[in-house]
Amino acid sequence: MEVRQFNDLGYTLTTIKTDKFKTNLISFTFQSEINRDHVTKRSLIPYVLRSASQKYGTKKELNTYLESLYGASLSASVEKRGKTHNIKFYLSLTNEKFIGNKEPLLENGIELLKEVILNPLADTKAFNNQVVETEKRLLKEYIESLYDDKTSYALQKLVETMCQSEKFSINTMGYIEDLDQINETNLYADYQKMLKNDHLSICVVGDIEHEAVYEVFKNHFQFSTSTESIEIVDTEEKEIEKVQLIKEVQDISQGKLNIGYRTHTRISDVDYLTLLVFNGMFGGYAHSKLFMNVREKASLCYYCASRLDNYKGLMYVYSGIEPQNYQQAVDIIDQQLEDMVAGKFTDKELELAKKSLINTKLESLDQATGLIGHELLNDLLPKPLTIEQWIKGVQGVTGSQIQDVAKKIEKDTIFFLTEKEVKPDGV
């Protein structure tokens, strides 16, 4: 595997050469600071662009062309990462080597991305009205459907509640109430802003030639976005006076317990790798304390795990339980964190977490998105890490360092989605 970076095209182009895959993957990331007034429009933009362009006037035409490129798949999405809101495009294309006829699929793909991103179906100041109206409807229906997935709904509510007064509580996909105010003109204005002010990074992964890919981009994508990189890590803090308890009742059959914590440790901090190991011991795996104690010992649940947000410094614990077991589950979870703080863990637990983490990391490098992920991570670290350095860092974590990061972790909010007519203790 070989990584190259080109910085003279008005954006960052990273090329990763590997012969592991039968496809090539191109990713575009437009990054800007998240903002309540623009988030809904930014959530619409990638879908409007993915709908129609000058050359491919409808979704049907665009999808037809993608199919003719041996089932190329083009996805548009948005994500929230720390302080930023990112618009992303992924295009996955079959590597020409595996199909009989020699079509320049990669070059066709890059041209297509140019068409989709730079030549939308629009006049000089507005998108096509019908495209915008259709995408508004689809976004509205998507946001509404989030309510139906109770596990992710509960997690979303937890974040909204615990980060209420912070920018981080802004919903990634935007807000239904904004949609009425959005039209083809003001959306187009935000699109222009995206092209001009966002930080753009492009990644290409596959069995490619670095220089050849660079040349194609040089010929097709000569435009300058903002080269100023944006602060991603969100350091906004909050004083926790008392743990908040929020309960919501719905007609469901299982209680969804979500607990939010502040880790006060972020990706750019020196103890970031220690926190990853901590999470591996606490709730990241099937040998972790949460799984062993809440599920295996107490039989309270099918899943109980913890997850980190290292751009913001948060940890979430989530589990599905019988409503009447609420207090018992919370007590066991609290006890596990206390044990971590008190150093009540074995060398074996520490060792298992490190091995599992390293295994997960190495496995991710067998996927094109994992390779891109590691490069993106490196952009955020004070000093870029090679895979070997990353592994060494994880291996070097000690038990007392684990206790130190555990001590910093503060419980912030509990969100419990529960069934009707059962009053769990303590909520």
Partner 1 sequence: MECKEFPRLKEKIYFEELENGLHVYMLPKKGFNKSYATFTTKYGSIDNAFTPLNQSEMKHVPDGIAHFLEHKLFEKEDYDVFEKFSMHSGSSNAFTSFTRTAYLFSCTSDLKENLTTLVDFVQSPYFTEETVEKEKGIIAQEIKMYDDNPDFKAYFGIINNLFKAHPVKIDIVGTEESIDNITAELLYECYQTFYHPSNMLLFVIGDFDVEEILDLVRQNQASKDYQKADPIPREYPFEPETAIVKERSMEMEIQTAKVFLGIKDPVMNRSGKQLLKADLMTEIIFDLVFGSSSEYYESLLNDGLINDSFSYETTFEPTFGFSLVGGDTRFPDELTTSLRQKLESLSQVSFNEKEFKRIKNKKIGRFLSALNSVEFIANQFTQYAFNDIDLFAILDVLEEITIEDLTEMAKSYFIPERISAFKLLPKK
Q: Does 79 bind partner 1 (CB under 8 A)?
A: no
* Other C-beta atoms lying within 10 Å of the C-beta of residue 212: 12
Binding segment for partner 1 (CB under 8 A), chosen from 38-46, 136-144, 310-318, 331-339, is 136-144
67-85: string of b/e by CB count within 10 Å (b at 16+)? eebbebebebebebbbbbb
Nearer to partner 1, 66 or 409 (CB): 66
| Span interacting with partner 1, options 52-60, 186-194, 233-241, 307-315, rule CB under 8 A | 52-60
401 in Cβ contact with 271 (< 8 Å): yes
Q: Which of 189, 212, 245, 286 binds partner 1 (CB under 8 A)?
A: 286
Site membership for partner 1, residue 365 (CB under 8 A): yes
CB of 219 or CB of 369, closer to partner 1: 369
CB proximity list for 193: less than 8 A, separation 6 or greater: none
Q: Does 17 bind partner 1 (CB under 8 A)?
A: no
Separation in Å, CA 306 to CA 61, 265, 275, 291, 303: 44, 15, 12, 10, 10
Q: Tell me whether residue 177 is exposed, middle or buried, using C-beta atoms within 10 angstroms of its C-beta: 0 to 12, 13 to 18, 19 or more.
A: exposed
324 scored as a contact of partner 1 (CB under 8 A): no
Please tell me whether residue 48 binds partner 1 under the rule CB under 8 A: no
The token pair that represents 347 in the structure block:
């060398």
Q: Are strands 255-262 and 314-321 parallel, antiparallel or unpaired?
A: antiparallel
The CB-of-47 to partner 1 minimum distance in angstroms stands at 9
Q: How many chain residues touch partner 1 (CB under 8 A)? A: 68
d(Cα 146, Cα 173) in Å, to the nearest integer? 10
Beta bridge partners of 87: 30, 78
- Of 197, 287, 341, 376, the residue at the interface with partner 1 (CB under 8 A) is 287
- CA-CA distances (angstroms) from residue 259 to 39, 81, 290, 305, 328? 26, 20, 13, 11, 14
Among 9, 126, 243, 358, binds partner 1 (CB under 8 A): 358
Six-digit token string for 300: 């309270």
Report the relative pairing of strands 73-81 and 12-17 from DSSP bridges: unpaired
Q: Which stretch binds partner 1 (CB under 8 A): 118-126, 131-139, 192-200, 234-242?
A: 131-139
Nearer to partner 1, 236 or 331 (CB): 331
Nearest to 152 by CA among 138, 166, 172: 172
Rounded Cα–Cα distance for residues 44 and 137 (Å): 10
| Contact range with partner 1 by CB under 8 A, out of 7-15, 221-229, 269-277, 295-303 | 295-303
Interacting span for partner 1 (CB under 8 A) from 36-44, 213-221, 315-323, 392-400 = 315-323
Residues pairing with 140 in the sheet: none
Q: How far is Cα 407 from Cα 339, in angstroms, rounded to an integer?
A: 11
Is residue 392 a contact point for partner 1 (CB under 8 A)? Answer: no
Asked if residue 345 binds partner 1 (CB under 8 A), the reply is: no
Selected from 55, 167, 295, 408, the binder of partner 1 by CB under 8 A is: 295
| Interface residue with partner 1, options 5, 134, 197, 395 (CB under 8 A) | 134
Residue among 35 and 75 whose Cβ is closer to partner 1: 75
Which value, in Å, is the radius of gyration of the alpha carbons in the chain?
Answer: 23
Work out whether strand 314-321 and strand 23-33 pair parallel, antiparallel, or are unpaired. unpaired
Interface of this chain with partner 1, residues 201 to 260, rule: CB under 8 A = 250-254
Q: Give the one residue of 34, 91, 321, 372 binding partner 1; rule: CB under 8 A.
A: 321
Q: Which stretch binds partner 1 (CB under 8 A): 92-100, 168-176, 239-247, 333-341?
A: 92-100
Q: Which residues bind partner 1 (CB under 8 A)?
A: 18-23, 58-60, 63-64, 66-73, 92-95, 98-99, 134, 137-138, 141-142, 144-145, 147-151, 250-254, 285-287, 295, 299-303, 320-322, 348, 351-352, 355-356, 358-360, 362-363, 365-368
